[in-house]
Chain A
Amino acid sequence: MNTFIGSGQISDNDFTFDIKRVPFGRKLSYMSIKDGTYPDEEGTERSQLGLFRLPRKYAAVERLQSMFFPCVMSIRPVYGGISIPYECTATPSMLEVRTEYGYVQFCFDSKDILRIRGSRIGLRFFSKLNAHDGFVSRLDGTHQVTYDMVGEFLFVPVNGELKIQGKWNEEKSCNEEVMLDISCGSDEKFELALHFSVCDIERCPSYRPFDECVDEARKDYEDWLAVYPEVPEKYEYVRKVAVYCIWTCCVGPMGLLKNNIISYEKTDSVFAWHSAYHAMTMTKDADVSVRTMLSMFEYQDEFGQLPDMVDDRFINFLATKPPYHGVAVLYMLDRMGDRMTKEHCEALYTPLVKLHSWWTTLRDTDNDGVPQYNQGCEQSYDYSVMFSKGLPVESPDLIAYIILLEEALAKLAERIGRTGESEEWLNRSKNLLDKLITEFWNGEKFIARMSSSHEVIEFDEIDAYSPIMLGRRLPAHITDKIAEALSDPEKFYTPIGFRSVKRKYFNGKPIPGIITGATQIKVVRGLCETGKKELVKDILTRFCDMTLEKLPMYRFLEFDPPEGFNGSILYYKEFGVCSAFSSVIFIILASLLKEISE
């Protein structure tokens, strides 16, 4: 058995995680590293580290060669020119790669510099290039690799030797690959600073001590962790991982992003409604919570729409996401009470009024006072069959969100002294609630309907029941029916959580439920409020138990799909593993579990 050599700096008691699932990164930085299988210069896939950087790569008619390269660069340890097996251990502030012959460590020195140092072994970086990408040795000891879609990576060998080599494509008249090798100097050590930028940059005249950077990152993470609520003891490790995933997804200003904001995951953009979820978990600090809630509103257009996604390069208004913000604000007001000052409320009021205005004008084209979704992505469950009869669709979950948004606006208006407006919001909210109950409840469940024709759309998805988020605002006969359906294993109940779509069968075999954290969030609080605490406690415990093995993910599957079943990609691929969104949802659910268990 091989013994792998480490630095001894990471002890068994330290909080560590596996970078096969948890990307190694740092708050403010756009870079991250994962351990996976990536292509090498021979064209084969092998176990390597992958260097990633935001943002998502948008679909294009012509697929570029590098778009099939899964990461920006693949990285692996080498000894004597030969690739060697390795294992990784990561703490929030340092990644250590151990091999039989020596080790390499990574840390972040401020947001744009990755610091790498090695003992007795070297590293090989490999990447594919497109026609307008390239590399150049700048003849001052630094080497630059640039990608049109990504930016510039500046390799600065602080100690040791760096060799860089391309692969020229005669036909395209460009280098289509680049390979960089860093190897130890005579002291059997190397040190490399890897800068990321969008424009031509300088190396630092000198670099801070590696260990200083590690300490700084550790402290930053620990300060961030302190803001988060507690969870039941057995999930404490998952909590630390979840908070870490959120911490690394908080990216700093660059390009179109003007302030710190939390992205969906390390390789994807910032979504319209995530900041609302994050704000809910930060109520220990009112400033932080409100600032986080407002972070997405910087990209709100003049009509009040929040873009579906933003990143440093694009603002995407193709769709949007549901106005969950009312739910979040009510929660924040409840938790923080007077700690939410008049100034906080004022800061939130106007952008939320604009948001409300957009949903009730540009998303109410038949002007009947009931808002609509224009397509699946706006609903958040892209595949929703509520759109099977056409567009636009007036949906019960959207109505519930707007009812709560109006209530939140009423409370904010009251706090800032606009009593008249507050009453108006409250009335609107009540009227819309009446409409929901009288026009959208068919005795068994909520229905959706086409805008304009009002043709009824019966659908068997969780959103026919998610207005339970209104809790006791709904009459008991409705909440009872909902609880019944949600507790029924033939409908929405599974041992590990409520499924998104009513139970179905394929060739007599049950199709596994897709259980998402976002679904649980929609229904659990309302169920608690209407007397179903035990059910919720049970569900949340088993849902959170899933994270003990898998860590937070976008969805869990009950079991494997039956043979021959050809469902959507959600049945076959794990999405959002250790994403900031899945992590914040976990924290919300686990902390709720702790509350109701006491």
Chain B
Amino acid sequence: MTITEILNKRPVILGSRERYDLRCVPFSTRGSFMCIVEDQEDRNLYLSISRSPAFMMERKNLVRIVPVVDNKEISFEYSAEPGKMTIKTYRGTAEICFADKKQIRIRGEGISLRFYFKMQMFENCSPKENGDFEIAYEILGKLLFVPLKGAVWCNAKWNCETVQAEDFIIDLIPPVETMRFETAVHEYYSNRMRDNEYVPFDDCVRMAEEDFKKFCKRFGEVPEKYSDMALLAAFTIWTHQIGPEGRLKNSLVYMSRTSSVRAFGYQQCYQAMASGGDIREAWKMLLSMFDYQNEAGQIPFYVSDISMSWLAACAPLHGAALDYVFNMCDSDELKKEDYAGLYGKMSGYAGWLLDKRDRNRSGIPQYYRADECGWIDAKAFKNGRPVQSADLLALTVLLTEYCGRLAIMAGNETEAGKWMNESKRLLAILENEFWDGRKFVSKDAQTGEIVETGVTASLLPVILGKRLREDIVNAIVNRLTSEDECRKDISPISCLLPIGLCNAGKKELAFIIAGRFCDMVCEAVENKADKGKIENKKTKQDFVNGLTSEMAAAFLITVSYVLGEE
């Protein structure tokens, strides 16, 4: 089935009584910084702004949202579709949608909706003359509450001694006659006034739905068994695509809206691979990080609208991604200029990597820190020395090979030869120096000692498929079928395993591994508790893992192997 077909059958993706809820992925829309999340521990709903100045600096539970009747909080359930979210109570409902990426629209009937604001020093709320209220946060930006029907009631008070607004509430109150309220909430960074016109709520919902359906055309078909998860994965990727704004020159896919609120370079490669249904979109994703490429050829470790880091190298997944994309997609649409364009940028990056991640001229590329390879055991970097690793070699074999292929497609034969030779050289090193007869290894780049980097790193070179010697492939197949450790790994990079196995002719094992991975993802993210109502007190918890866009893409890539397609 296609994602759109799944959506037409089951429009509700998340809900308190559904298989998945807002603890795993927030409700939002493409390009928006606002989202609505459910907290794992207190099970409340929060309005959140997806901005984070540095790692582990987030204010996820920014504004608590709760329905209110006669000044008392009441219990509720919720459900979310791509176009809108509904909060249901015994007295009435509230609906939330995104009018555009900078505006949330909320309407309700029979109830009020209350927002609890917790302020930090210097933050405040000021009224405008016309009934609007502006709330200003440090780093996160500003919100403007605009009453369209009914009133916005606010009890914010500035405290001269603590130099901030005290914690306050905003109530969205319906007029007595109609009992229907509608409010717009704008998100912006410096200044804003209310709009002259507001598009009708239902039109906003429809536009968001259409945008989502259009977005989903880039994803392939999925088997019925995994259709719920596939729909959730598509929704996750759609809501995590942010930009251009601030330091984002283009659209990138953030890893998470609530915890790692930034776009990592190497993860855009997964997004390209997941977009196998539309070569243009896949190509755009592959090119996306290169918009930030510096003169030396380096591309950033991560980017967000308010931050950019160059302090770790972007893991070189581009070759693997291209290998997959060319296999999956019909590339007739692409022209010589497209190949030349990507070649210029990718070769600059490959050149940087082979130079600046091999400063002792060993001829073998190195990882400098754990962040450069999210799937490696960080302990390998304990001594502060670079690590040569089989998985990095495998990825650079593909990176350089595809620099070569792109060069050919761009009509640049000389350069192509150079890259192809480099690829062969790296492959020889991988097989001769990093295979111990039983598995692939990693080494301390200075002493040559073997360092432990974990199961995934040692299996990853299977992505090379038929390029590897048969005995190596067979040994990997053996490990995957017999070793327990190999079955447990759920890191997104494992999506490369079924791809490699398939390429090496081991289709059956590829299907088994793919199925196993998909099952593990579904289980991790699912709401397993009794589908009880959410009440305004702490309930017994079952922990739900958040679904990152990285995992979502890995799922969509892997699920196609379960269908038996190549």
Contact = CB atoms under 8 A, between A and B. Distances in A.
Contacts of B207: none
B18 interface: no
A134 to B, nearest CB: 5
Interface in A265-303: 301, 303
B519 interface: no
Interface in B344-389: 356, 359-360, 368-371, 377-379, 381-386
B1 interface: no
A367 B55 contact: no
Interface in B414-464: 445-446
A314 B53 contact: yes
Interface residues of B, number: 62
A133 to B, nearest CB: 9
Interface stretch (B97-105, B136-144, B334-342, B527-535): B136-144
Nearest to A141: B359
B120 A149 contact: no
B191 A199 contact: no
Contacts of B53: 58, 60, 149, 313-314
A341 interface: no
Given A139-B445, A148-B54, A175-B384, A383 B161 contact: yes
Contact of B190 (A134, A305, A390): A305
Given A131-B55, A391-B126, A568-B161, A166 B383 contact: yes
A556 interface: no
Interface in A48-74: 58-62, 64
B445 A64 contact: no
B59 interface: yes
A301 B191 contact: yes
B56 A62 contact: yes
B83 to A, nearest CB: 31
Contacts of A305: 190-191
B563 interface: no
Nearest to B300: A199
Interface string B457-478: 0000000000000000000000
Contacts of A476: none
A451 B128 CA distance: 10
A139 B369 contact: no
B298 interface: yes
A32 to B, nearest CB: 21
B160 interface: yes
A319 interface: yes
B520 interface: no
A364 to B, nearest CB: 9
A152 interface: yes
Contact of A367 (B129, B189, B377): B129
Nearest to B125: A391
B327 interface: no
Contacts of B126: 374-375, 391-392
Contact of A318 (B122, B158, B310): B122
Interface string A21-37: 00000000000000000
Contacts of B359: 138-140, 142
Interface in B109-162: 120-129, 134, 136-139, 142, 157-158, 160-161
Find the residue from B123, B368, B385 having the highest chain A CB count within 10 A.
B368
Contact of A144 (B158, B360, B368, B378): B368
A377 B163 contact: yes
Interface string A365-382: 111000000111100001
A149 B54 contact: yes
A152 B311 contact: yes
Given A314-B139, A314-B306, A367-B129, A199 B382 contact: no
B129 A317 contact: no
A237 to B, nearest CB: 35
A60 B294 CA distance: 30
A437 B167 CA distance: 37
B378 A317 contact: no
Nearest to A136: B368
A134 B136 CA distance: 34
B539 interface: no
Interface of B: 53-59, 120-129, 134, 136-139, 142, 157-158, 160-161, 163, 165, 189-191, 193, 294, 296, 298, 306-313, 356, 359-360, 368-371, 377-379, 381-386, 445-446
7 contacts: A58-B57, A60-B56, A60-B57, A130-B55, A132-B56, A314-B306, A391-B125
Interface of A: 58-62, 64, 130-132, 134-140, 142-144, 146-149, 151-152, 164, 166, 168, 173-175, 178, 198-200, 255, 301, 303, 305, 307, 313-314, 316-319, 358, 362, 365-367, 374-377, 382-385, 387-388, 390-392, 451-452, 568
Given A136-B385, A166-B383, A365-B127, 6 more contacts: A60-B57, A134-B381, A175-B384, A199-B311, A319-B136, A388-B160
